[in-house]
Chains A and B, each alone.
Chain A
Amino acid sequence: MSNKLMIAILALVCAFGLAACSKAPAETAIKAADAALEGVRADASVYVPDQLQTVEDSLAAAKQSFEAGDYKQALAGAKDLPGKADELAAAVTAKKEELTKSWEEMQGGLPNMVEAIQSRVDILSKSRRLPAGLDKATFENAKASLDTAKQTWSEATAAFSGGNLMEAVNKATAVKEKAAEIMAALGMQVPQAAL
């Protein structure tokens, strides 16, 4: 065997060896990233979908590099992802706390607003004429909106009971806005928290 052939064989062996050496860490890093994301994916998709998408994109890019044989790039892309998954979990916790606080505030205040509106609507319904600044069409619209608000509030409480905090808060926020609108239309004072 000539020296040139020996050198070529040695170079090939080294190249394969190096590739094998960097493939395993990259594969391990991707598996670790996958596992870390799996633990937070469901909640993150509901509470912090944009942040989750960024991490998912990074993972996809790392996998793509791995498939293309660029193990160095794959490793670089995947190695930080378990840490990003931890950040996602922390963001989910923070978002849940924020939503819970919103829900508790609205749960304490909205029934009060709706009752005040209902009381006013009941009395105005007995009135022989409407007060200055309130016409019949506006009053009828307010009554219909009140029915909608009550229905939406029922849906919000059902969502909360079912553990769907995001939906509960979204619906409660819609009730708050609707109730504030109705109160303004009926010439009522709107609570500070609903302004």
Chain B
Amino acid sequence: MSEDKKQVPPSWDATQVHEVVKGDTLSKIAEKYYGDPGLYPQIFEANRDILDDPNLIRIGQKLRIP
């Protein structure tokens, strides 16, 4: 289905987003969405444009959850 990659209208945007709250870590977020904290690198890699360090996330940051 990759041949259809185009600008997606906002109402069709399927990007999964998690807004960081107090106490969140990438491991905790990975556990919430994947059941496995060890899968946090998946989230880190999907957010390399806004994250330099997997241990440094800020409250209010909107992370893509692949």
Number of interface residues of B (CB under 8 A): 26
Taking CB atoms, residues of chain B closer than 8 Å to A111 are 1-2, 4-5
Taking CB atoms, residues of chain A closer than 8 Å to B16 are 116, 120, 188-189
Does more than half of chain A's interface fall in helix, strand or loop, or is it mixed? helix
Q: B-facing mask of A165-195, CB < 8 A → 1, else 0? A: 0000000000000000001000111011110
A20 at the B interface (CB under 8 A) = no
Residue of A whose beta carbon sits closest to that of B42? A123
Residue of A whose beta carbon sits closest to that of B13? A191
Q: A-facing mask of B3-46, CB < 8 A → 1, else 0? A: 01111111111111100000000000001111110110010000
User: Do residues B66 and A126 form an inter-chain contact, with CB atoms below 8 A?
Assistant: no
B46 → A minimal CB distance (Å): 9
Counting from the closest, the 5 A-B pairs by CB-CB distance are: A109-B12, A131-B35, A116-B14, A193-B11, A111-B1
Q: List residues of A whose CB falls within 8 A of some B CB.
A: 105, 107-117, 119-120, 123-124, 126-132, 134, 150, 153, 183, 187-189, 191-194
